[in-house]
Amino acid sequence: MQSLKSASLIRRSLRISPFKSSYRSLTSLSTNALSNDSDDIVLVEGKACSRTAILNRPPVLNALNTAVGARLQKLYKSWEDNPDIGFVMLKGSGRAFCAGGDIVSLYHLINEGNIEACKDFCRTVYGFIYQLGTYLKPHVALLNGITMGGGGGVSIPGTFRVATNKTVFATPETLIGFHPDAGASFYLSHLPGYLGEYLALTGGKLNGVEMIGCGLATHYSLSARLPLLEEQLGKLVTDDPSVIETSLGTYSDVVYPDSTSVLHRIETLDKCFSHDTVEEIIDSLESEAAKSHDDWCASTLKKLKYASPLSLKVSLRSIREGRYQTFDQCLVREYRMSLQGMSKQISNDFCEGVRARMVDKDLAPKFQISVSKPQWNPPILEQVSTDMVDQYFSPLSECEPDLELPTKQREAFT
């Protein structure tokens, strides 16, 4: 087989492709502990020259917890060190690839005052995401179903992402009072135009065809053809990304977004989401809606007005900073932001958003007056101060350590 060094160089040359246009949720239902350590949560399939990790928590849409992250780290390290394994695959059980972080378990831990367990979750999952983003062997993620929040984080940094007709992608964190994390500020900020800002702020969904169109996915295949694709990949004896890409292409389809796709509104989207502030973005959308009477503008405004005002401002700044940072720098910053969001030092929006949408499922935060316009803390954009946003990007305390990543051993990419 080709040497790992050569494979790594080819892999890095392919790294740019995810962010070139061809024209990485937080919606877990779990009440299980984040530290569930059963090996059954990630199953393994072995082939002649490859290994497949299978996220196996279908009742909670394969949500990530600390144990899942730790098992993935262990498996991927052993496979990377094994010269008989040429490439690695990742898929999910049931109707989801991965719906993101196990936010219900995080919610309970926060309310119990166990912030240390929350830190351990972030360190472990972010650590695996960095491991994947710097992996020395080709990686194939099969995104056959729900792929939200952290589900993007454990797939998009890899070499290949196969979307299907069942794929639903989103980063819906602002709708629960959080921010797109798990590397999202890196990969969203590298999408064409200002699509990343749109996805980060609104939580808008993309289907598999749209993921191909904007570069989030590298291949598209009908779900029914995936068994044939997996069978073909299982026969390969290679660590050469180009050989794997050829096999993926054999079962891939050429597809184009339909007329209703947001990708056909990229000119309007760029015009509105290129502004410096959330307030200016909303003003621009309102102006466009008044002139064009476009339903897309109206629905986008509705999403923005439902989201947490603090999360909107924090997420916009995160995407803008991510555009000029390396992958590891984004993860380190997102770690700070996530701890701030969970600590309640600035706002209780994260816990309130999870309670409303996932725990009590009333779709309206506590003491809600109108279901159509939830009240957050702060309740309106004008009350979100610059100091509040700045604090979100700072360590929890002067003695709080940042996320440590093995950047000297594993080269990050830009």
Residue positions annotated with a catalytic role: 101, 150, 173, 181
Instruction: Report cis status (omega within 30 of 0) of the bond before 378.
Output: yes
- The sheet with strand 160-163 has its strands ordered as 42-46, 50-55, 87-92, 139-143, 160-163, 219-220
Paired strand residues for 92? 55
Question: Please, what's the b/e burial string for 221-241 (b: 16 or more CB within 10 A of its CB; e: otherwise)?
Answer: bbeeebeebbeebeebebbbb
> DSSP characters for 100-137?
-B-HHHHHHHHHTT-HHHHHHHHHHHHHHHHHHHT-SS
Token pair 């009440």 is found at 31
| Cα–Cα–Cα angle for 109, 102, 220, rounded to 5 degrees | 165
Residue 375's CB: how many other CB atoms inside 10 A? Answer: 16
Tokens 């803008």, residue located: 320
- Residues sharing a CB contact under 8 Å with residue 284, sequence separation 6 or more, in sequence order: 271, 272, 275
